[in-house]
Amino acid sequence: MRIDVRYFAAVREQLGSGEALVFVDEASAPATVGALRAHLIGLTPAHAEALASDKALRMALDQTLCAPEATLHDGAEVAFFPPVTGG
């Protein structure tokens, strides 16, 4: 399973433009956007700080705002960004 992760605004400043995650064993892949966030938090201290569960972050799945319960699929694009972003 492949999931493309994008970061925007302050999250992007901390982590960069994004990353691709590939899970060889689909059974170990996160099932929801919220589970993906928890997985990412465990990757590095920078991820833990930028994506901390107590931070108000918006999430999008395939360019549509979503709740943490949104179900992931192979080839999903998930974005994380603060509630207010500027352009």
Q: Which fold has domain 2-81?
A: Ubiquitin-like (UB roll) (3.10.20)
CB neighbours of 30 closer than 8 A, spacing ≥ 6?
3, 36, 38, 39, 72
87: confidence class by pLDDT, cuts 50, 70, 90: low
- Check residue 13 and give its pLDDT: 93
- Check residue 86 and give its pLDDT: 60
pLDDT at 85 over 60: no
Distance, C-alpha 27 to centroid of its chain: 19
| Neighbour-count burial for 34-55, b at 16+ CB within 10 Å, e otherwise | bebbebbbeeeeebeebbeeee
Q: pTM for this one?
A: 0.92
User: Distance between CA atoms of 20 and 26, rounded to whole angstroms?
Assistant: 15
The β-bridge partners of 81 are: 58
> pLDDT tens across 23-72, in order?
988 888 999 999 999 999 999 999 999 999 999 999 999 999 999 999 99
- Check residue 56 and give its pLDDT: 93
